[in-house]
C-alpha cells in the first residue's frame, strides 16, 4: 500500500480542521485542546498536535491530509509535518485581515521547509465581511502565478476544487521540470 500526504496549514482558526473533515472518509483524528491564550479565544478549542484525515484512492494508494496546529507556539511541528508532502494548502480566513500577515509568514516558512507546489485557499468566502480575492492577493503579496482560490471549508465541492487545483499545480510542475531537463 502506497501512501502520500498533503499538508493543510494556515493561521489559527483559518478553517483547517473543517477543511479536512469535509473530505475525509474517516472521522478526523484531531488533538484538540481548550484555548489558552486570551487573544485567541475566538473559538473554544484548537488543534495542538495535528489533524489527520484520509482518502482512499484505490486499493494500492491512500492520500493522507495533515492539518498543522494553528497556534504559533506549536510551530515546531511544522517541519515534521512538511517532510515528504506532495504539496500544501495555506488556509486563510478571508474575514480576518489581521491574520494575513501571519498567513504570509507561515507560507514562507513552509516554502523554506520544502519547495513543493502549493495553493492558497481564501476560506469563509460565504461570510459577509470576507475580503475580495483580488484584494487578498495584494494583502498577502502573492505572486500572480500562485493560485488563490475562493473556499468554503464546510462545502465539499469547494474543498474538492481546492484539492484538485493543488494536484493540477503538482502536475504542471512535473511537466515544467521535464521540459527543463
Partner 1 sequence: MALKGNLRDFTITQLLNLINLARKTGTLIIEGASESARVSFREGKLAFAEMNSEDNSLATVLYKSNIFTLSQYRTLKARASHMSDKELGLLLINAGYVTRQDVLNTLQNHFIATVNRLFTWVEGIFTFENGTLPPNDKIITRIDLENIIIEGSRRLREWEQLQDEIPNLEMALKFTDRPGANMRKVNLSVQEWKVVSYINPKNSIQQIARATKMNDLEIRRIVYGLLQAGLVDLVRPEGVALPVSKSGPMAEANKEEQKSLINRIIGRIRSL
Selected from 3, 31, 37, 45, the binder of partner 1 by CB under 8 A is: 3
How many chain residues interact with partner 1 (CB under 8 A)?
Answer: 40
107-146 residues near partner 1, rule: CB under 8 A: 108-109, 111-116, 138, 141, 143-144
How near is the Cβ of 75 to partner 1 at its closest, in Å? Answer: 10
| Nearest CA among 131, 146, 133, 47 for reference residue 94 | 131
How near is the Cβ of 109 to partner 1 at its closest, in Å? Answer: 6
Nearer to partner 1, 44 or 145 (CB): 145
> With binding defined as CB under 8 A, does residue 40 bind partner 1?
no
Three-state SS letters, 98-155: HHHHHHHHHHHHHHHHCCCCEEEEEECCCCCCCCCHHHHHHHCCCCCCCCEEECCCCC
**Whole-angstrom Cα Rg for the chain:** 16
> With binding defined as CB under 8 A, does residue 28 bind partner 1?
no
Nearer to partner 1, 29 or 164 (CB): 164
> With binding defined as CB under 8 A, does residue 170 bind partner 1?
yes
Q: Cα(136)–Cα(122) distance, rounded to whole angstroms?
A: 8
Considering only 33-41, 43-51, 104-112, 125-133, which stretch makes contact with partner 1 by CB under 8 A?
104-112
Cell representation of residue 52: 489527520
CA atoms in the 13 A half-sphere facing the CB of 140: 35
Considering only 88-96, 100-108, 125-133, 147-155, which stretch makes contact with partner 1 by CB under 8 A?
100-108
Amino acid at each position: 500500500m502506497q501512501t502520500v500526504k498533503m499538508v493543510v496549514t494556515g493561521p489559527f482558526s483559518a478553517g483547517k480542521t473543517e477543511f479536512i473533515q469535509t473530505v475525509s472518509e474517516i472521522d478526523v483524528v484531531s488533538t484538540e485542546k481548550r484555548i489558552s491564550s486570551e487573544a485567541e479565544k475566538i473559538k473554544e478549542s484548537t488543534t495542538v498536535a495535528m489533524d489527520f484525515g484520509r482518502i482512499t484512492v484505490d486499493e494500492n494508494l491512500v492520500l493522507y491530509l495533515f492539518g498543522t496546529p494553528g497556534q504559533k507556539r506549536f510551530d515546531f511541528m511544522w517541519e515534521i509535518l512538511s517532510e515528504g508532502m506532495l504539496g500544501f494548502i495555506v488556509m486563510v480566513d478571508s474575514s480576518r485581515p489581521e491574520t494575513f500577515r501571519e498567513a504570509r509568514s507561515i507560507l514562507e516558512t513552509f516554502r523554506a521547509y520544502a519547495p513543493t507546489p502549493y495553493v492558497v485557499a481564501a476560506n469563509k468566502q460565504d461570510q459577509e465581511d470576507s475580503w475580495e480575492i483580488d484584494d487578498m492577493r495584494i494583502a498577502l503579496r502573492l505572486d500572480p502565478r500562485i493560485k488563490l482560490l475562493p473556499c468554503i471549508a464546510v462545502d465539499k465541492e469547494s474543498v474538492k476544487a481546492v484539492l484538485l487545483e493543488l494536484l493540477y499545480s503538482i502536475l504542471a510542475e512535473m511537466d515544467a521540470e521535464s521540459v527543463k531537463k
